[in-house]
Structure formats: C-alpha cells, structure tokens
Amino acid sequence: MKKILELISEEMQQAFAAAGYDPKLGKVTVSNRPDLCEYQCNGAMAGARQYKKAPLMIASDVAKELEDSSVFSSVEAVAPGFLNCMVNPAFLKAYLQRMREEKKFGLEEAKAPQTIIIDYGGPNVAKPLHVGHLRSAIIGESVKRICRYMGHKVIGDIHLGDWGLQMGLIITELRERQPDLVYFDEDYQGEYPKEPPFTIGELEEIYPTASGKSKEDTAYKERAMEATFKLQNGVCGYRALWQHILAVSVADLKKNYDRLQVEFDLWKGESDVHDRIPGMVDYMKREGYAHLSEGALVVEVKEDTDTREIPPCMILKSDGASLYNTTDLATIMERMEEFQPDSMIYVVDKRQDLYFEQVFRCARKTRLVKEDTRLYFLGFGTMNGKDGKPFKTREGGVMRLENLLKEINEEMYKKITQNREVEEKEARETAGQVALAAVKYGDLSNQASKDYIFDVERFTSFEGDTGPYILYTIVRIKSILRKYQEQGGNLEAVRLQDITNESEKSLVMEVAKFNTMLEAAFEEIAPHKICAYIYDLSNAFNKFYHETKILAQEEEKKAGYIALLSLCLDILEVCIDLLGFEAPEKM
C-alpha cells in the first residue's frame, strides 16, 4: 500500500497538472510550521522562473484545483507562494482503516528480496564481554530485525575472534601453570580428555595475566607466538586445548547474548576460514593482485581520488603469518561461496573504519565479491561515562557487560517496587524487561556513528525520551484495552470512527507515518529513526489520553477510540520488537 506522503504528493501533482503546470513541482513535505499547517508544498516558488509568473499566482491556481479534494480539507496559497495544507480527516480515517486490515500495516515489503549478511557482536574468545561489545550486539540485532521485517533474507554472523595471538597467549600461560597437561606431550597418542582443564572464571583471569606478561617479557611473547603458530598449523594437543577454550567461552557468550535477547544464525569465527587462506593467497599472487613489499605480501588499495592515505592491505606478514585482514578477506570469500549475499553489513567500532576501507577495496580489487555486492561498514561511536570518557566501573576498570546489566536491573527493581506491592517474581521479571529496554533504547536512540553518554539515571527514567517511557505508554494502552474488555467490549468488533478532535487527529497522523518511517530506517540502516518515531507516537498518544475520557464515551465513539488504540499498540509493539526488546503486561 502506498505511503501516506505518496498519496498526498500524487494529489498535489495532479493539481499542478490540472492547473497547467509541471506535475513534478507538486512535491509535498511535512510542514516545518506545524502551527500553520500539517503539510506544505513549495513547488510554486520553484516554478516561478519557468512560467515567468509570481509564485503566489501559481500557488493560487493550484489551490483552486484542490478546493474539493478528498485528500486535503484545506489548501491555502500564502505569500510569497507557499501552499499550506491540512489533511482531510476522512482520508486519514480511510488510510488507517487499510493499515488495520493489511499485513504489516500495509508496509510494502521488498519486491526482490535480497540476501543480507550482518556481521555483528564480534566478541573475542576467552575475553569477557565488555560494554564495547554491547553496542555491536544491540545495533546489529536491531538492523537484522529491520532487514528481515522488510522481507529480506538475513543471516546474522557473530564472527568470533578465535584465532589470533590471544589464543597463543592463553595456551602459553596454561603451559606455565600446568606443564604436565597431556596436551603438551608431543608423543601422546591417545584421546584427549572431554573435560576442559579450566573454568570460564579461570579462563577470564588467564588472558589478562598472559597479555600483561607478554608485554614485559619478550621470551614469553615469543613462546606465545610460537604457540599460535603451532595451533594454526594443526598441532593436535594445541588444537584440542583450543577446542576446550572455544567451547567454554562460547557457552558463556551464549548465556550473555541470551540475556540481551541477541541471537545469531551463524556462530562462525576467524578460525573457520583458516584452511581457505593458502588458496586465497595463491589466487591473489597468480592474478597479479598481490606483491611482496619488504617481505610481506600486500595488495595496493590506494586510489587517485583519496584525500587521506590508505596503506596497502597486508595479506601475509613477512614470517608468513596471517592477519586479521587475511581472515576477514577469506571470510568474504566463504560467504560469497556459501550464501551469494547481495550485501554484507559490518557493525563494528568506528575506529576500525580505515581497516574496513582497506579490506573492502581489496575484496573488490581482487574480485572476491561481485561488482554489485554491497559492502557496508556501520561504524559506531564510543559509549562514554558521564565524565565523557569511555565507560568504566566505579573503580576505574573495564566494565563487564554482566555487571552493567545487573546494576541497571537493580535500579529498575528498586523503582518498580518503590511505591507498590508487587509479587517478587513478577517484580524481578518486569525489572529485567524494563532494564533491557532502558539499555537498548538508550543506545539505539542515538545515531549509531555518534559517541553517547551512558547515563543510568536518565536511561531508567519513566519520563522523557527513554525506553521505560515507551514501555509505560504501551502498558497504559494495554490496560485501557483490558478494561474495555472487562466492561464487555469486544476488541475484534471495534471500528474506527470519524476523527473529531485535534489530539486524536495528531495521533492518527503519527500512526499513519509508520511505513514511511520504516522504509527510511531500512534504507539508511538507522534504528534511531524507529526510536524517534515511537517517541513522537507515544507523546501523541499520551496527549490524546490526557485530553480524552476514552472509556466514558458513548458506545460507538468508544469503540472507535479503542480501534485506534489497538492499532497504535500493535505498531508500538512491532517497533520495540525491531529494536530488540519487549513490554511487560504491567509495570
């Protein structure tokens, strides 16, 4: 079904044509003077030169054509040549009626569904999740849901960091501590134990210790590099140990992502493409894309039009070791082979922007992707504390994701139980839901590329542009609908009625913008547009609610309001689902 702005524009274009002007001039936008009108068209001004006429005359001609319009209730030509428009309530009512009847509120799904791979999360094995990973998970999950809702085939891949030096470091530290482990016995022939020789707690302590030691002790670092080399070259004991590290770590990651309601379709990692690297390197050499530079194998990726320096993309180091680049390129190759995606979207810290520029250029130049395969870097900014510096614990350490969520949960629990009696289990559950909304909305309501300040107090507030405010609005609508049913009303039978007051019309106009908004959120890969929309929608609803005794109306009117409310609720719930959270029944 057409978007409301399309219908409005069509009506305006026809009027331009009927008055003898170029219909292209009839472009309509939402008014930037809502005190004067709802929509506006500035086409008469644009046409003045072409027709050698005063803009006001053109505007008047067009306005005359629209006197009996079914779309506009009034169109006014005002100096110097604006067309100020008010929308006909009957047209709005009919539009909403169709939104109620059609699937996905009449949203036009993709005509040719694309295959889209979203690379997000990107945690590193054996390192605890910290708030830096939070943004990738939250944004990526929402982007995935938006693309899917638009009708595309979407594959979310976590792309684990499971292959680099960090693995060698852990293995080295384990060897220091437990040199007698069977994994280090090169003559060992039997099966390796099923149980890992460490817990997740130990693992998380081992990595920072090893990393610290390697910075001070070059011999230690060399041992770690050697361990990495042995692992990557398939030494059995090292592989077996690595499997344990992976399994223990992934189990813990799954728990954390579950809590965040973030779900991946693929749990692939850098290690998965290891076997593809030699073939890819051969290909790049054979085709003349790669050459040696100071012993390293590189692909030149700079272009004449560059305004900043883009260094060559290094494929192999001089000692033959592969790099982060190499695994990313081989992953692109694998994805093209396995899924033939039209598009790959990377949700990664924006500080990796240059890196991805190199990788994308290299993938294009070496024809790992098709000419029209879209490679898109969605770089996000830093989550800062109130001091404007990257978010830390009170003690100044790196904040673990688990602890951050626990803290917000507690805060929400306190708020929920403050003024009323709630059963403990219900209170905990509700606190969990509202806390997640607070964190996710707090993040997603900012344009992804911007840094933002993680402000617990503000994010958990029930007022203002926050997740809890949105949930509160949803819960309020649910409660009205419940009361309506308790009074014997039937939600299935309600019908929209004529729009009779201002705040009702404003609410209806917000509801009608849904498809326009969602298409833009998809096209610009911008979840923050959904946040801005549901904030406006919630405000419009709450204003209407405060000015209207909904349940005290006579039957037909009441049923009409209920029909509007239930549409509004359905849209809000779809929107928060696209953002990755849900609303409780009560709060």
Closest CB to ligand ARG among residues 378, 534: 378
Q: In whole angstroms, how close is the CB of 438 to ligand ARG at the nearest point?
A: 25
Q: Which residue is nearest to ligand ARG (CB)?
A: 122
Q: Per CB under 6 A, which region of 59-67, 107-115, 116-124, 577-585 contacts ligand ARG?
A: 116-124
What string of DSSP letters covers 428-484?
Answer: HHHHHHHHHHHHHHHHHTS-TTS-EE--HHHHT-SSSSSHHHHHHHHHHHHHHHHHH
The 72-78 sheet, strands edge to edge:
28-30, 39-41, 82-87, 72-78
Residues 6+ apart with CB under 8 A from 312: 293, 298, 299, 300, 301, 302, 358
Closest CB to ligand ARG among residues 175, 274: 274
Q: In whole angstroms, how close is the CB of 329 to ligand ARG at the nearest point?
A: 10
Longest dimension (CA), the chain: 95
Closest CB to ligand ARG among residues 16, 346: 346
Q: In whole angstroms, how close is the CB of 119 to ligand ARG at the nearest point?
A: 5
**406: part of which helix (H) or strand (E)?**
helix 401-418
Q: In whole angstroms, how close is the CB of 348 to ligand ARG at the nearest point?
A: 4
Closest CB to ligand ARG among residues 373, 466: 373
Distances (CA, A) of 576 to 404, 439, 481, 582: 21, 13, 19, 6
Q: Per CB under 6 A, which region of 46-54, 117-125, 198-206, 498-506 contacts ligand ARG?
A: 117-125
Q: In whole angstroms, how close is the CB of 356 to ligand ARG at the nearest point?
A: 8
Distance CA 438, CA 432 (A): 10
Phi, psi of 89 (to 5 degrees): -60, -35
**Helix 131-149 and helix 514-523, axial crossing angle in degrees, nearest 10:** 120
Distance CA 279, CA 268 (A): 19
Q: In whole angstroms, how close is the CB of 133 to ligand ARG at the nearest point?
A: 7
Closest CA to 303 of 378, 351, 364, 345: 364
Closest CB to ligand ARG among residues 161, 168: 161
Phi, psi of 52 (to 5 degrees): 45, 50
Q: In whole angstroms, how close is the CB of 585 to ligand ARG at the nearest point?
A: 38
Binds ligand ARG (CB under 6 A): choice among 69, 124, 446, 538: 124
Closest CB to ligand ARG among residues 2, 350: 350
The answer to whether 176 touches 138, Cβ cutoff 8 Å, is: no
Closest CB to ligand ARG among residues 366, 497: 366
Closest CB to ligand ARG among residues 380, 514: 380
Q: Per CB under 6 A, which region of 49-57, 118-126, 252-260, 287-295 contacts ligand ARG?
A: 118-126
Binds ligand ARG (CB under 6 A): choice among 11, 61, 65, 119: 119
For 503, other C-beta atoms within 10 Å of its C-beta total 16
Closest CB to ligand ARG among residues 328, 510: 328
Q: In whole angstroms, how close is the CB of 122 to ligand ARG at the nearest point?
A: 3
Q: In whole angstroms, how close is the CB of 344 to ligand ARG at the nearest point?
A: 9
3-class DSSP state for residue 189?
A: coil
Residues 6+ apart with CB under 8 A from 104: 149, 574
Q: In whole angstroms, how close is the CB of 346 to ligand ARG at the nearest point?
A: 6
Closest CB to ligand ARG among residues 448, 565: 448
Distance CA 183, CA 235 (A): 10
Q: Per CB under 6 A, which region of 5-13, 55-63, 119-127, 547-555 contacts ligand ARG?
A: 119-127
**173: part of which helix (H) or strand (E)?**
helix 165-177
Residues 156-185: x where in contact with ligand ARG by CB under 6 A, - otherwise, as a string: ---x-x------------------------
In the region spanning residues 556 to 585, those forming contacts with ligand ARG, defined by CB under 6 A, are none
The answer to whether 364 touches 331, Cβ cutoff 8 Å, is: no
Q: In whole angstroms, how close is the CB of 157 to ligand ARG at the nearest point?
A: 8
Closest CB to ligand ARG among residues 124, 506: 124
Closest CB to ligand ARG among residues 117, 572: 117
3-class DSSP state for residue 374?
A: strand
Binds ligand ARG (CB under 6 A): choice among 26, 122, 269, 468: 122
Q: What is the DSSP letter of 112?
A: S
Closest CB to ligand ARG among residues 329, 567: 329
In the region spanning residues 311 to 340, those forming contacts with ligand ARG, defined by CB under 6 A, are 328
For 405, other C-beta atoms within 10 Å of its C-beta total 18
Structure tokens at 477: 């609508």
In the region spanning residues 390 to 449, those forming contacts with ligand ARG, defined by CB under 6 A, are none
348 binding ligand ARG? (CB under 6 A): yes
Distance CA 407, CA 396 (A): 16
Q: In whole angstroms, how close is the CB of 131 to ligand ARG at the nearest point?
A: 13
Q: How many residues bind ligand ARG (CB under 6 A)?
A: 8
Residues that bind ligand ARG (CB under 6 A): 119, 122, 124, 159, 161, 328, 346, 348
